């Protein structure tokens, strides 16, 4: 693990990277005379003991990178924002871009959140439900894959991922602090590796037939 990276600078860089990907897709669409995308907004509302009442929105943007290429899967950008009455929030964006003849696939996933979580212990050394710890923290995660078709329905390519946890707020009497568990004060981890995908689905968004198998090996620094 490395703690040399400034998480907020990393956040800015990753967000700009993701925005550039979305802008690229938008530019491709604007170059076409034919309208080939649809936008689907959906409301989100739920309740949980950790968050209380939560509400927000989810937006799907569906399109084809090449409108005349009807055999290539539909590309999409999905964005979500959720806010809770406990003053917690979650911002999430993921996309999948399918290029001409499905020769290359680009996938990005980004999440930024300030959400609570419960800690029960490690392995078999766990505590009772009444003794669990509630932890508040701020974290971000980014994952990018560039997959190239190597055979029918098979794709291989590099994958990068980053995770950072910061501003961790522990109870005054905390098992995590007492045991000085690795990363309890915050940490950043990034890694690079390979991803393999076998995909025979008829539709990546709403499959009615086919299978998906995905394997990845990431080396973290």
- pLDDT tens digits for range 5-43: 444 545 555 555 555 555 555 555 455 445 677 899 999
Which pairs count as long-range contacts for 78-83, CB under 8 Å and 24+ apart, including other chains? 80/44, 80/56, 81/56, 81/57, 82/44, 82/54, 82/55, 82/56, 83/54, 83/55, 83/56
Q: Which domain holds residue 177?
A: 7-152+159-192
The predicted-structure confidence for 131-166, as pLDDT tens digits, reads as follows: 677 777 888 999 999 999 999 999 999 999 999 888
Number of domains in the chain: 1
Is position 201 within any domain?
Answer: no
- Tell me whether residue 208 is in a domain: no
Residue 209 lies in a domain: no
Domain membership of residue 127 (yes or no) is: yes
Q: Distance between CA 98 and CA 73 in Å, rounded?
A: 6
pTM value? Answer: 0.72
Does residue 45 sit within a domain?
Answer: yes
Whether 204 is in a domain gets the answer: no
- Domain assignment of residue 65, yes or no: yes
Q: What's the CA gap between 138 and 98, in Å, rounded? A: 32
SS3 86: coil
């Amino acid at each position: 693990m490395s703690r040399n990276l400034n998480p907020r600078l990393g956040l800015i860089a990753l967000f700009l990277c993701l925005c550039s990907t979305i802008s690229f897709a938008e530019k491709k669409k604007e170059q076409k005379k034919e309208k080939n995308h649809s936008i689907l907004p959906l409301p989100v509302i739920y309740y949980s003991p950790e968050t209380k009442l939560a509400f927000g929105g989810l937006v799907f943007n569906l399109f084809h990178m090449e409108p005349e290429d009807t055999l290539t899967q539909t590309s999409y950008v999905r964005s979500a924002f959720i806010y809770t009455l406990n003053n917690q929030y979650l911002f999430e964006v993921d996309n999948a871009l399918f290029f001409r003849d499905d020769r290359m696939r680009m996938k990005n996933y980004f999440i930024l959140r300030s959400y609570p979580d419960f800690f029960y212990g490690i392995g078999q050394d766990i505590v009772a439900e009444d003794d669990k710890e509630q932890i508040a923290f701020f974290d971000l995660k980014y994952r990018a894959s560039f997959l190239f078709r190597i055979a029918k329905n098979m794709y291989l390519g590099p994958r990068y991922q980053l995770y950072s946890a910061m501003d961790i707020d522990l109870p005054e009497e905390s098992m995590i602090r007492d045991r000085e568990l690795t990363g309890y004060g915050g940490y950043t981890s990034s890694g690079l590796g390979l991803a393999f995908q076998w995909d025979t689905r008829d539709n990546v968004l709403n499959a009615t037939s086919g299978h998906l198998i995905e394997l990845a090996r990431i080396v973290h620094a």
